């Protein structure tokens, strides 16, 4: 069993990985917009957070490494160095090293010392001056003060501090600018600054080289009191520094805060007796204290700022607590989804039983259970949905690195990144999208000079989009490259024996050949592509997700690949059909329509099954024949017409029963190799219905027809 420290370290790794993912996206955006100050701040905060949290849990190597990166971006923030392509390149490499440090060792340290040192050496060469680092001293100090740190913070929980910093009068003469200290303090968290000027003397006593200012701060930070002390570590001697924790960030505390008088007494700005005397006059406290000269106006303002600040913090904390999210292991969500599926099945059995019993009271109970089950199902499915942005953001790095490697100029445009899918789908979409984007970069987008010669912009564009489309999600990957060469694809397919000479294919039907294993029109094999295996992987992965792939291409203008996948793999809307006593489910998203068929009236040549549907010739598959189901077929059957990969194919069944909410059950290992079946479901009466893998059945039919054509040709 993991102890509290192990759990905290695990939480740190999860949060650090999230920050590193965000960091990669921010760096790529900064490369496009190097003057964006908000992006620089975002990158700096991410590094600062990783460093601070890492120090808390003993990830010292990560702390030291991140500290150097943070220093570099501090230069950028202060306009001491520009954002360059080399800086972005170095930081991206450093980000990869940090991820390896997190993943490769239980202590957060991998075998990355050499890579880290090389990266830091590259960083030193581009900095405006020597890299100011006290990594070793910082590590020793962190270890020494670790126990003291625990007194002021717990697992990084934010604490609000009241700080007064009164520098020595000679601070300017020592070459120290207090504004730098204030700026550094503000990087630790949310901070308000109140300058106090009551110590400024009259002009005849004024020394222009002396510092008469002092400052009050209200700071909320999770980095602890030692991080605050570190800011002032070189000016403590001869200065007054007072740090008090005034609010622990407990959402259980009331939103109200101390009165102004209490704050002034705590800060030592007024005595309790003087406060009592002022309150006895029954006037505005602040006005009385200023009029009587008991407290300078600036200190009253400081107390008011502190009061309002903490009130607002407590209010926002309560609101955040009310809407707080919690981390739940995905395994638990999977179990919850499975239990919900079981409940849906039981609810269907209850509804069926209530109808058979014809009992009004039982029927009312069944309707209530059905309503609640539906709401529970929708809620659980909603919890499992995550934005596809997590997949899309990873492709930015691929486009950047690969386009540079191939000497191409390519921009990646993304829309619909907020579109949500089931988390299990998100995990499995990564590889197909990577293969498609790599192909677009390598084969689709032309080199800059070639594009310019064709009258195109030197910079090519890959557009990535996602949107909900009914019960599916439509993902489109388009480019403005040279498009697919239809003739070359056809010639290669004939050479590979995938189609016969004289076969008429066009549009999506022809372009579907690029997904065949081993088919590649590349003239040479590169380390990026050319072996004809990548797009085959795309097809297999998308088929496994019960999705479809369609291809559109325009010669000289570009290509667009459309991927449709269901919102979830746990529950689908299906069309329940019957053959003799056997039941099957056809995914409703693929169903176009249902028509009746008089058996024997539509047999084509060579035993082909074809049906005339309002003038269109539609081939169909007799499921009774396909699965070898016995029993006499009805004189009039029904054809369920489906569309997959741009092709219309019918499935002949005895009876279409109707729509059915299908909870998918995986088949055991014994049936793993059966391509025609994607899963099974339990019906309301307890019987099992198999879920048809429509694209795989259609593909099998096409292969069989190709083999028959080749046999007849011989």
What local confidence, expressed as pLDDT, does residue 463 receive? Answer: 94
| Run of H or E including 307 | helix 297-322
Please list, in sequence order, all residues whose beta carbon lies within 8 angstroms of the beta carbon of residue 191, skipping any fewer than 6 positions away.
Answer: 185, 217, 218, 219, 220
- Interval 421-457: pLDDT, tens: 888 788 788 888 988 999 899 888 999 999 999 999 9
Choice between 646 and 237, residue whose per-residue pLDDT is larger: 237
pLDDT above 60 (res 100): yes
Nearest to 477 by CA among 441, 526, 512: 441
H helices of 501-596, where?
Answer: 507-511, 534-544
Q: What is d(CA 624, CA 584) in angstroms, rounded to the nearest whole number?
A: 11
What number is the average pLDDT over the span 686-706? 80
Three-class DSSP category at 644: strand
Confidence band of 520 (pLDDT split at 50, 70, 90): low
> What backbone phi and psi angles, to 5 degrees, belong to 673?
-90, 0
Reported pTM: 0.57
Per mean pLDDT, which range of 4-18, 47-61, 87-101, 195-209 is the poorest?
4-18
pLDDT above 60 (res 86): yes
What number is the average pLDDT over the span 101-112? 60
Please list, in sequence order, all residues whose beta carbon lies within 8 angstroms of the beta carbon of residue 622, skipping any fewer than 6 positions away.
Answer: 609, 652
Say which CATH class 398-566 falls into.
alpha beta
Cα separations (Å) of 424 from 428, 473, 589?
Answer: 7, 14, 19
What local confidence, expressed as pLDDT, does residue 465 receive? Answer: 92
- Interval 485-500: pLDDT, tens: 888 888 887 787 777 7
What number is the average pLDDT over the span 145-157? 42
Kindly tell me the burial class for residue 256, based on how many C-beta atoms sit within 10 Å of its own C-beta (0-12, 13-18, 19 or more). exposed
> What backbone phi and psi angles, to 5 degrees, belong to 708?
-65, -40
- Interval 390-406: pLDDT, tens: 788 888 888 988 888 88
Q: What is d(CA 362, CA 380) in angstroms, rounded to the nearest whole number?
A: 27
pLDDT above 80 (res 282): no
What number is the average pLDDT over the span 676-689? 79
- Domains of the chain, by residue range, sit at 4-148, 150-322, 330-383, 398-566, 571-713
Asked if 706 contacts 499 with a C-beta cutoff of 8 angstroms, the reply is yes
Count Cβ atoms below 10 Å from residue 151 Cβ, excluding itself. Answer: 11
Q: What is d(CA 123, CA 86) in angstroms, rounded to the nearest whole number?
A: 9
pLDDT above 80 (res 97): yes
The first and second tokens of residue 575, run together, are 């069309």
Q: What is d(CA 375, CA 367) in angstroms, rounded to the nearest whole number?
A: 12
- Interval 14-55: pLDDT, tens: 778 888 888 888 888 888 888 888 888 888 888 887 887 777
The alpha carbon of 333 is separated from its chain's Cα centroid by a whole number of angstroms, namely 17
Q: Angle formed by the axes of helices 330-357 and 360-383, to 10°? A: 160
The bridge status of strand 385-387 relative to strand 636-644 is unpaired
What local confidence, expressed as pLDDT, does residue 252 receive? Answer: 52
Asked if 640 contacts 651 with a C-beta cutoff of 8 angstroms, the reply is yes
Say which CATH class 4-148 falls into.
mainly alpha
Asked if 255 contacts 237 with a C-beta cutoff of 8 angstroms, the reply is no
Three-class DSSP category at 611: strand
What local confidence, expressed as pLDDT, does residue 459 receive? Answer: 92
Nearest to 264 by CA among 297, 240, 241: 297
Please list, in sequence order, all residues whose beta carbon lies within 8 angstroms of the beta carbon of residue 260, skipping any fewer than 6 positions away.
Answer: 285, 286, 300, 303, 304, 307
- Interval 311-354: pLDDT, tens: 777 776 665 554 555 667 777 877 887 788 778 778 878 888 88
Radius of gyration of the chain (CA): 35
In CATH terms, is domain 150-322 a member of 1.10.10? Answer: no
Per mean pLDDT, which range of 53-62, 75-84, 274-283, 371-380 is the poorest?
274-283
What local confidence, expressed as pLDDT, does residue 113 receive? Answer: 77
pLDDT above 70 (res 709): no
Confidence band of 131 (pLDDT split at 50, 70, 90): very low
Confidence band of 584 (pLDDT split at 50, 70, 90): very high
The chain-wide mean pLDDT, for the chain, equals: 79
Nearest to 163 by CA among 207, 228, 224: 228
Cα separations (Å) of 189 from 14, 49, 78, 185, 224?
Answer: 21, 10, 18, 8, 11
Name the DSSP class of 670.
Answer: G
Architecture of domain 571-713 in this structure: Roll (2.30)
The alpha carbon of 569 is separated from its chain's Cα centroid by a whole number of angstroms, namely 19
Question: What percentage of residues in the chain have a pLDDT greater than 70?
Answer: 80
């Amino acid at each position: 069993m993991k102890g509290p420290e192990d759990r905290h370290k695990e939480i740190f790794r999860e949060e650090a990985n999230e920050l590193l993912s965000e960091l990669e996206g921010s760096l790529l955006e900064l490369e496009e917009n190097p003057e964006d100050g908000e992006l620089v701040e975002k990158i700096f905060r991410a590094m600062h957070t990783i460093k601070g949290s890492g120090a808390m849990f003993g990830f010292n190597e990560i702390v030291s490494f991140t500290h150097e990166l943070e220093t570099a971006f501090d230069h950028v923030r202060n306009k001491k160095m520009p954002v360059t392509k080399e800086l972005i390149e170095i930081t991206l490499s450093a980000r990869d090293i940090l991820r390896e440090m997190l993943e490769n060792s239980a202590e957060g340290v991998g075998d990355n010392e050499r890579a880290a040192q090389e990266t830091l050496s590259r960083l030193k060469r581009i900095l405006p001056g020597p890299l100011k680092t006290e990594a070793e001293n910082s590590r020793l100090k962190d270890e020494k003060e670790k126990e003291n740190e625990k007194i002021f913070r717990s697992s990084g929980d934010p604490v609000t501090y009241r700080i007064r910093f009164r520098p020595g009068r000679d601070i300017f003469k020592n070459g120290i600018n207090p504004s730098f200290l204030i700026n550094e303090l503000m990087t630790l968290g949310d901070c308000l600054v109140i300058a106090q000027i009551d110590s400024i003397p009259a002009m005849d006593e004024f020394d222009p080289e002396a510092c008469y200012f002092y400052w009050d701060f209200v700071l909320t930070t999770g980095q602890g009191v030692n991080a605050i002390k570190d800011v002032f570590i070189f000016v403590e001697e001869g200065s007054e520094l007072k740090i008090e924790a005034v609010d622990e960030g407990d959402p259980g505390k009331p939103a109200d805060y101390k009165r102004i008088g209490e704050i002034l007494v705590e800060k030592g700005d007024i005595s309790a007796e003087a406060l009592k005397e002022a309150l006895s006059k029954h006037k505005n406290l602040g006005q009385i204290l200023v009029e009587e000269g008991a407290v300078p106006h600036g200190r009253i303002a400081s107390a008011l700022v502190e009061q309002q600040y903490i009130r607002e913090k407590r209010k926002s904390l309560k609101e955040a607590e009310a809407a707080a999210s919690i981390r739940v292991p995905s395994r638990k969500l999977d179990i919850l989804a499975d239990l919900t599926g079981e409940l849906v099945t039981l609810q269907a059995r209850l509804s069926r039983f209530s109808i058979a019993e014809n009992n009004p009271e039982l029927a009312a109970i069944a309707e209530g259970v059905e309503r609640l089950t539906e709401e529970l199902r929708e809620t659980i499915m909603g919890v499992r949905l995550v934005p596809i942005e997590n997949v899309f953001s990873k492709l930015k790095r691929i486009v950047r690195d690969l386009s540079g490697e191939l000497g191409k100029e390519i921009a990646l445009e993304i829309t619909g990144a907020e579109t949500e899918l089931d988390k299990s789908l998100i995990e499995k979409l990564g590889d197909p999208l990577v293969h498609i984007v790599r192909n677009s970069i390598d084969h689709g987008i032309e080199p800059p000079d070639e594009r310019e010669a064709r009258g195109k912009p030197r910079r090519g564009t890959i557009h990535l989009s996602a949107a909900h489309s009914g019960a599916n999600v439509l993902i489109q990957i388009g480019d403005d490259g040279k498009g697919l060469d239809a003739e070359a694809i056809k010639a290669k397919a004939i050479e590979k024996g995938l189609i016969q000479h004289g076969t008429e294919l066009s549009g999506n039907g022809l372009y579907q050949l690029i997904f065949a294993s081993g088919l590649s029109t590349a003239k040479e094999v590169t380390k990026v592509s050319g072996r004809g295996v990548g797009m085959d992987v795309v097809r297999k992965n998308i088929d496994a997700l019960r999705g479809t792939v369609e291809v559109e291409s325009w010669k000289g203008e570009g290509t667009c690949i459309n991927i449709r996948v269901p919102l979830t793999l746990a529950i689908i809307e299906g069309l329940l059909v019957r053959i003799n006593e056997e039941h099957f489910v056809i995914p409703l998203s693929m169903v176009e329509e249902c028509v009746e068929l008089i058996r024997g009236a539509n047999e084509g040549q060579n035993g082909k099954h074809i049906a005339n549907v309002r003038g269109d010739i539609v081939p169909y598959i007799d499921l009774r024949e396909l699965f070898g189901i016995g029993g006499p077929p009805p004189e009039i059957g029904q054809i369920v017409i489906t569309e997959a990969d741009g092709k219309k194919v019918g499935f002949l069944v005895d009876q279409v029963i109707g729509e059915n909410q299908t909870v998918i059950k995986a088949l055991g290992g014994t049936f793993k190799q059966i391509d025609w079946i994607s899963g099974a479901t339990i019906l309301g009466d307890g019987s099992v219905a198999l879920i048809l893998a429509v694209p795989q059945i259609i593909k099998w039919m096409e292969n069989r027809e190709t083999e028959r054509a080749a046999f007849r040709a011989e």
